[in-house]
Chain A
Amino acid sequence: MIEEPFATGTTLFHSRDARVKLIPAVAITLILALTSSFLVAGTGCILTGLLLILSRPSPRLILRRICRVNIFTLFLWLTLPLTYGGDTILPFLFLDLSLDGIRMATLITLKTNGILFSFLALLATSTLASLGHGLEKLGMPRKLTFLLLFSYRQLFVIHQEYLRLQRAARLRGFIPANSLHTYRTYSHLFAMTLVKSWNRAERVHQAMVLRGFNGTLIPLNQPQLSKNDYLFLTTILLISFFLATIPFFC
């Protein structure tokens, strides 16, 4: 259930160092998040969409992901045209739709999806482990990196543990319903997962101290930035620069 389906591949996005993807990803996200221009949001959405296509993800998985993230956008589409207000009202069947509301919902849809595409193309093509080490090299506090990498490592174990307990409950005839019994059962399942995680943390900590752990995690491969990495960084930063300067030319 928890997996990184886009992180494996052979495209030029997958073989780049996490650092040269993190910097332009943040740049593009900032530009698109802060813009209020349709032209920038629209162009951004198209360009990041192209980047996403170049990273060659599985179409079925990517569509499912895009739909799931757009649930919030759908909520805005259902509420903003009816409640946003403004001067221009568009009569539609028996409803009065606010033109400003529709405009706002369109702008947010373009921005959200542009950012999502860049995230999927640039960051989802790395594993969290390499993103974590990349973030540390870019200045993220060491303790936070450690928290991130270690949570990532244990996530799958804890989830398996929870699923095992849930399966056991089901085998004993537990059927979730709207009842206090259901809430108590879920609480106990989760609390037991916490107890097991806590005990595991103690054991792992002791084992790591025994092996001389001093607060640093050393990655197995420490890639050096290659010429291609710099070329990639420059190209994507140029795209970001182009997006950021569009309003000055129009």
Chain B
Amino acid sequence: MHISEGVLTAPVLIGGAVLTAVGTTVGLKKLDYDRIMTVSLLSAAFFVASLIHVPVGPGSVHLLLGGLLGLLLGWGAFPAIVVALLLQAVFFQYGGIVVLGVNGFNIGGPAVLCGLSLRPLLKGSKKQGMTAGFLAGCCSMLLSALLMAGALFFSDQGFLHAAVILLTSHLPVMLIEGLITMFVVGFLARVQPEILSLDTRK
């Protein structure tokens, strides 16, 4: 899901950096010091999710769970994702500092969008909650893959085919993300429902 440093051109890098800066600022503004601890922990959990490899076909994929973070944190997911990506850059050198803006927006943007639009469903029945989970996981992954392909294409139109291959390879992952997010939401609703109403809690 990460685009490496050195691949994208200046306009895409600047665009991503500006959008991520705006998203992070809004996210931070909505965070008070009482909730910051929880967001840090969820950000660390999001980092750990990327180390979980789930079998798909003959290979395996690692989880992303941006949709889940969006559902749980709303705007707060933006800074949480940026921090997790920065941690990945420092620990594993995936992504980097300059490309952090683009990567942050590719994952954070869809996470916040899906989280905010599907969050009302969480208050409904268990079935509605799980549907919200599935859709959040699926749609945020799809949008992230589309944004990643778009970032490559707008950097250099010769990347078109490579971007299409990347996008197609993410389609099965989308389904897995949807399923996992759905089961996680179902589990949380049964075990610790307070987590699901984190964003609205005072």
Nearest to A123 among chain B residues (CB) is B90
Is B80 among interface residues, defined by CB-CB distance under 8 A?
yes
| Chain A residues within 8 Å of chain B by Cβ, number | 85
**A183, closest chain B residue (CB):** B179
- What's the count of A-B pairs with C-beta under 8 Å? 228
Given A124-B90, A143-B36: A195 in contact with B188 (beta carbons within 8 A): yes
Task: Select B41's contact among A120, A191, A201, beta carbons within 8 Å.
Answer: A201
The answer to whether the Cβ of A136 comes within 8 Å of any Cβ in the partner chain is: no
Q: How far is the CA of A151 from the CA of B86 in the complex (A)?
A: 11
Is B43's CB within 8 Å of the partner chain A? yes
A166 and B83 CA atoms in complex are apart in Å by: 25
Prevailing SS type, chain A contact patch? helix
* B56 with A115: CB separation less than 8 A: no
- Could you tell me if A194 and B6 are in contact, using CB atoms closer than 8 angstroms? no
A63-78 contacts to B, CB under 8 A, are 65, 68-69, 72-73, 75-76
Residue-wise, chain B 147-179 has the 8 Å CB interface mask toward A (1 for contact) of 000000000101111100110000000001001
18 A-B pairs (CB sep. < 8 Å) = A32-B5, A33-B5, A34-B13, A85-B158, A119-B89, A143-B33, A148-B87, A150-B37, A151-B87, A176-B55, A182-B54, A189-B52, A191-B184, A201-B38, A201-B40, A201-B41, A208-B37, A215-B33
Taking beta carbons and an 8 Å cutoff, which residues of A are in contact with B? Answer: 1-4, 25-26, 29-30, 32-34, 41, 65, 68-69, 72-73, 75-76, 79-80, 82-86, 100-101, 104, 108, 110-116, 119-120, 123-124, 128, 131, 141, 143-144, 146-148, 150-152, 154-155, 158-159, 162, 176-178, 180, 182-184, 186-195, 197-202, 204-205, 208, 214-215
